[in-house]
Chain A
Amino acid sequence: MTEVLCTVSTKAILLGNEAIARGIVEAGCLVACAYPGTPSSEILPAVAKFADEMGSPMAVEWGVNEKVAFEMAAAASFTGSRSCAVMKQVGLNVAADPFMSSALYDLKGGFLLVVADDPGPHSSQTEQDSRHFAMFAKIPCFDPSSASEAKEMVFDAFDLSERFHVTAMLRPSVRVDHCRQDVELGEILPFKGEVKFEKDPSRWVCLPAKVRVNHPKLNAKLEEIRAAFETEFRKYNYEVPAKKESVLGIVASGVSFSIVSDILKSLGREDVAVLKIGTPHPLPVKMVTDFIEKHPRVLFLEETYPVMEMQIPDRTKIMGRWNGVVPGAGELLPEVVAGILADILGIESPSGADSMLKDTLEELGITPRKPMLCPGCPHRASFFSIRQALPNAVNPSDIGCYSLGVNQKAVDAIIDMGGSVTMGSGLTLAHKVAGIDRPVVSTIGDSTFFHMGIPGLVSAVYNRHPFVLAILDNSTTAMTGGQANPGVGEKLRKGDEGRKVDIEGVCRGCGVSHVRTVAAYDVAAGKEAIKEAWESAKEKKEPAVVIFRHPCMLLRLQQPVIPVRVDPEKCIGCKFCINFFNCPGLVFNEESGKAYIDERFCVSCGVCLSVCPHGAIVEVSEEGE
């Protein structure tokens, strides 16, 4: 039993994710697990930081993937302690199996699932709406409209979970996760229960006979929760009435509520009523239908799928996604919402793209900058080696910064985390059946290898699939902001010691006999290693592994500084370096028809010295400049 009290009570400006983290610690959560993923990544490190500062005894850990994190947290709640699992929306696809089955359990300790959605999407491979997943699993879902509301919902979600013994979902979307707002800070709630696992197979073993009991029970719980949402949660579900006779009612949840509120205020409209819903599932249907009845027309604003809309039996009066009033994809940005309102209210649309500004952009050739690997990024060097070693190869890849290898024409296909390994198998099989002799070189990052690469590798060894797996080990989970992973070995809480898991050892343990490691910056060695691995794979009829190692530039470690320049005499303007190396520090001047070093970005890593086939990239110091 734990009792921790802390006496901080002030306001602070927090990122939405930090506010959620603060709520998790204050609510007395004892086990928090996650796997990073934008826009959720900042939550768990902030939980660890607040837990350290406030002296919470809680455990805070990265799981190796979302299924692992979910199961760790769920099982912890079986003991009666409060626990939570945190992930991004596609993470829940990975954790869908335990999510669906534990949803049916009569849980004991409060179990909070935080799933961050990414309408837009800004940094994701789908635009899915996790509230739909809550509906699928028949569990309650909170949809915060701001950072401070998200924090408050954490407490209510834990309470609700304990009251009805169900998983409770908090679904912030990216604009809540990454908003910055002043938030009230509180103390850690004392934990009054007892942490104890009580043996009870009828409760904790999901046999079909048990499901036949639990499923109707869950249905009944859901109706009770709906009733509670109709009456008890007025702080999340409330009407902002029109001051005059209403011409329009709007039902809005999440950040769409915040956006439409600001727009109505700036338009000065007093004839539009808004019903805010913070608990979209199970929807307080009576509250919403009563609202619909009061207004001549009703608009639904929610992201990203029509989750509330679909729970209304009679949609004839509703303007939303079912009839195309609200776009079926993409983020509901202020400009989009303002456009929808303008159409409905018959007012002038907000100023669109100005023609003079459009001309400016065209004349100056200004376009949005696409994401690119950082200058000095080791992945760029690895991709260059891989492409040059086997130009004819098919290159499946994976989810990480190295997805940007597509700019170097070194990434041909991506599905999801771990897919590079299994696509390697699938392509190899198709080639084999058709009698095609074409190399396959897959690329995967260190964090993604641990996340979901290993099962595919075991399968490839077992089935004897000859292809090359290049593991791009930059000693971090870079894409999501630099979290540790098993290959790094660090943990989140102060004083917590982890143990480093050796990638070479894992590959050998999986049964791979050809495992080689090269320095990613050494292009010549990288090329050789890939050629050699492909020969070995063919000969032994099994996957071969090459590990490209160099720390991520974001870790800002010291490394040799090798200033370079492009010799205009030797540069023939072939753009080989632009097409296959693609570095922000190496750009092409269309006027002179030659490449040059853009010193705003170049970090003098020196890798491009071995890139130019004409030897036009040269070291500066060599010539005494």
Chain B
Amino acid sequence: MQYVIVGIGGQGILFTSRILGKIAVERGEQVMGSEVHGMAQRGGSVISHFKVGNYRSPLVMAGDADILLAFDQNEGIRNLHFLKKNGSMVVNVHSEDDMKNSSLTAFLKDRSIRVYSLAGYELLKKHMGGNFLFLNVLLMGAMCGANISGLTFEEVSRAVKELSPSKFEDANMKVFRLGYDSISSGQ
């Protein structure tokens, strides 16, 4: 399983590979991933690669990813070339109109890419007092709700819980459920 996780520096995307890593190791699987630290983190585009299985290289090659997890819609669109045919993108959408762009929909259709969108900022404004640092857990919930990663609700929520700092544990569980329901009920 190969994941590419994209967003903007400061959105907390590193937490996602920690969750995925914990789950994989508990399942006894090998993991390999690549992260961005340093200059690019300062509000610029960031990308994490994460591979579960028998790989040597930490990088996902363009056209090989199973899942693209996009914390930002523009970053998601910009990195669609990483997805293989029949791959899936879970994306935090801030402009529904852009998602209807005809070149984009043609590309997605051509590659049979499934898109699971959620309005992350709106959801967090409504339910979490606008604390956008919960985006990472929200997206994990959404990915789980989309049922594309082969990971169960219990497995992922346990990993999120165990990796959460204790003062965020309850809030994270609430957000995880929020993300999960926003996709699973919509499909």
Contact = CB atoms under 8 A, between A and B. Distances in A.
B101 interface: yes
B154 interface: no
A356 B22 CA distance: 37
B66 to A, nearest CB: 14
Contact of A38 (B25, B38, B75, B104): B38
A374 B22 contact: no
Nearest to B11: A600
Nearest to A145: B56
Contacts of A246: none
Given A13-B21, A175-B59, A334-B59, A361 B78 contact: yes
B115 interface: no
Given A42-B37, A262-B57, A182 B30 contact: yes
B58 A261 contact: no
Nearest to B99: A364
Contacts of B36: 122, 178
Contact of A373 (B18, B43, B55, B103): B43
B98 A351 contact: no
Interface in A360-402: 360-361, 363-364, 366, 368-374, 401
Contact of A122 (B40, B80, B104, B107): B40
Nearest to A403: B39
Interface residues of A, number: 58
Among B45, B101, B103, which residue has the most Cβ atoms of chain A within 10 A?
B103
B58 A13 contact: no
Contacts of B62: 334-335, 350-351
B42 A360 contact: no
Contacts of A334: 57, 59-62
A5 interface: no
Contact of A371 (B30, B40, B60): B40
B56 A372 contact: no
B77 A122 contact: no
Given A181-B32, A334-B59, A360-B101, A599 B130 contact: yes
A145 B30 CA distance: 16
Interface in A215-268: 255, 257-259, 261-263, 266
A68 interface: no
A333 interface: yes
Contacts of B121: 600
Contacts of B21: 13, 180
Contacts of B55: 262
A596 B78 CA distance: 25
A405 to B, nearest CB: 12
Interface in B60-82: 60-64, 74-75, 77-78, 80-81
A599 to B, nearest CB: 7
Nearest to A480: B38
A11 interface: yes
A39 interface: yes
Contact of B33 (A11, A179, A262, A366): A179
A119 to B, nearest CB: 12
Contacts of A374: 10, 42-43
A263 B104 CA distance: 29
A117 to B, nearest CB: 13
B121 to A, nearest CB: 6
Given A13-B31, A369-B45, A39 B38 contact: yes
Nearest to B46: A369
Contacts of B45: 368-369
A261 B10 CA distance: 33
A74 B25 CA distance: 38
A364 B31 contact: no
A350 B63 contact: yes
B61 A479 contact: no
Contact of A360 (B9, B18, B59, B107): B107
A150 to B, nearest CB: 12
B155 interface: no
B57 A178 contact: no
B55 to A, nearest CB: 6
Interface of B: 8-10, 17-18, 21-22, 25, 30-45, 50, 55-64, 74-75, 77-78, 80-81, 94, 98, 101, 103-104, 106-107, 110, 121, 130, 132
Listed from nearest, the 5 A-B pairs whose CB atoms lie closest are A38-B38, A123-B38, A371-B44, A179-B58, A123-B39
26 contacts: A13-B18, A13-B25, A122-B36, A122-B39, A122-B40, A123-B37, A146-B58, A175-B59, A178-B36, A180-B21, A180-B32, A182-B31, A261-B56, A356-B110, A360-B101, A363-B101, A363-B103, A364-B74, A366-B77, A369-B8, A370-B44, A371-B39, A371-B41, A371-B43, A372-B42, A600-B132
Given A146-B32, A178-B35, A180-B32, 6 more contacts: A41-B37, A42-B37, A175-B34, A360-B103, A584-B43, A601-B43
